[in-house]
Structure 1
Amino acid sequence: MPDARYTFGEAMSDKDQLACESPSIGSRSGTGYIWMAYSVFFFVDPIMRRSLRFWLVCVGIYAVFLAVYIGYMRARSTKQRYVLLAAFYVLGMVSLPINSSSTAFFVYSAAFLPFAVASVPTVIAVMVAQCLGVAVQGLVMHVSLIPIAITIFMIIVVGTSNIFVAQQKRSQHRLRVAHDEIERLAALAERERIARDLHDVLGHTLSVIVLKSELAGRLVERDPQRAAQEIGDVEKTARTALKEVREAIGGYRSQGLAAEVEMARNTLQTAGVAMACESPVPKLTSEEETVLCLALREAVTNIVRHAHATQCRMRFATTEDRFHSLQVEDDGPHPIKQEGNGLRGMRERVQSLGGRFSINSEHGTTLLVELPVRTTSTTGVVQ
């Protein structure tokens, strides 16, 4: 008994059913050849007639059928399959007046057609043309009405049922393709998130390490005690960096915006930049705090690395159109002219929360991050 997982006519892989460009299942596993069992009905007439001459004619016709069937199983292109499907039909038209059991050849043509042709209207049109061809041949060749009726019935039933099977297979294939694409995009987004977080975390801490190392190098001769203190800070910062990298890989979570402000103050002070925070730190969700912490960290890193500033002002506020804002200004003579990976990652984070991000470089650099205020409903859900 045939494996129930395969439907008569489903002799190709999923990719074949959609594109008809790869080898068939039959050519690899032999599954497609199982449906040759239906061709035994071709020998009903020879068994009934018991004529050697008739047997030889039928064996010759069957040999041609075998060649066409094997060729179809091994076909490598759409064009080859179309030609061999036509060969099934032509073989049936030629042999039907000779052997009324040749209905099987038409069945193979109708069964494979929906898997070779993706367009349902085209398949239906071809099936109608096949039925009309059989009916016309029956009238012209005076073939008995019974085999003609059986042939048309089988073309309609087998062809129609396999249309649904073929379309289902195509839908399953498209779902698999869509699922694979979603997984690919999710993996890509996660890699980009990790890349942004690692850039923000390492960019900041490595800048501090470099800054303190340079300071210790300058102090090592004239103030060894202060140099040793700076080296100790370098070790502490390196350990902090290692911890933060682990947090970033596992899903970065900030220790809080207030702690980040204090860390920014210490970093800027080490670099010789005076920082003033002109407003209290607002109360935000953990997600919003993470975005503002990373934005503040990137802003401080850029000031230390590039700005050559002496003053930095930080301001938290709530705008009239209900946005939490963080503004970081410096008086450095080297404003930002082009966004790098850090600023680009910052912009993407802010925009992912529906926020606004802008940079003004007319007098020093002013960085503005705005996040929409989220309200809490009576059910406790943040909206």
Structure 2
Amino acid sequence: MRPRVMTVYGTRPEAIKVAPLVAAIDASDVLEGTTVVTGQHREMLDQVNEVFGIVPDHDLDVMSHGQSLSHLFARVLERLDPVLESVRPDAVVVQGDTSTSTAAALAAFHRRIPVVHLEAGLRSGDLHSPFPEEANRRLTSRLAALHLAPTAGSRENLLTEGVPATDVVVTGNTVIDALLDVVARPVSFRDAEVSRAVDGDGDLLLVTAHRRESWGEGMRGIGRALATLATRRPDLTIVLPAHRNPQVRAAVLPAVEGLANVLVVEPLAYAEFAHLTHRSTVVLTDSGGVQEEAPSLGKPVLVMRENTERPEAVTAGTVRLVGTDPDRIVAEVDRLLSDREAYASMARATNPYGDGHAAVRGVAAIEHLLGVGTRRPDLGG
């Protein structure tokens, strides 16, 4: 009987990053796969599953309106445990740094099931930023039996914390596998204004903002920066897929209301967002995953945070931290749009996050963990 590997995920970023691994598990000659979604992001999660043809075997449907992080965590534990008892997997894969990933890792640990942590070893150095992600990823590392680290830097973080070297594999990031797959496919944009912007030939600034630690004045600063850029540069198109959190919208959107060259749209399906990133001139974001995706497409990334758990791209020169001060955001965007040499130095920097084969390395490591295969060499090894 082939070992069974259960993959548990709940948010859109998790779904994107586990999709290549789920496909590689299904393609394995020696493993059986089971997928469980928690529904931490409902609509956006379903969209990504549809793009990659994933039909979950179990849906825990944990979300309820206004619930706290603790309530969410408790519901994942409560609803996943009977599934673990019924399926009895030989390993459980979790991804990244969400409440879903840490709660699922703890549920598996309670049943003495080995935990595989995909995208392991990321660290910002500040337990409270990003919040609660930094704490989640550190907690998950303490529970994992196998750490699939995206970069050599992530591996070093784990070794520094005492994780045995034999338990860490540098795979690259599966987000690159997913991105390269999706941008090679054609896409149709549901929003006509976005479609026209993509088909145009002017500069396009893609903006995403949602970080909890920036709620309030930080988000208001982002809104003021976008308004200044739009006013100064009427030929610049700014596309802002607005996060659905009411606090984010209330802080950012009033500043850009009525500006014709700011397109405020609903969150885009993953394939649309990937193609919009490909078309953009500069990406302004506070997202973690976008810091990995955009450099793979040759796009300079300005990160509206004071620190990042993904320092490799900063070191490589394709990502720059700009915080949420509106004057600094405006100055950095202006610099890239006005200075061709500065733009080229970021756009041509080497992306450190992988070669599109992370999932293959990850599955080989899981097969080795379960005694049915051998590891592949680490990325860059």
Short-chain TM bin: under 0.3
> TM-score normalised to the size of structure 1?
0.22
If asked which structure has higher relative contact order (CA below 8 Å, sep 6+), I would say 2
**Larger CA Rg, structure 1 vs 2:** 1
Structure with the higher strand share, 1 or 2: 2
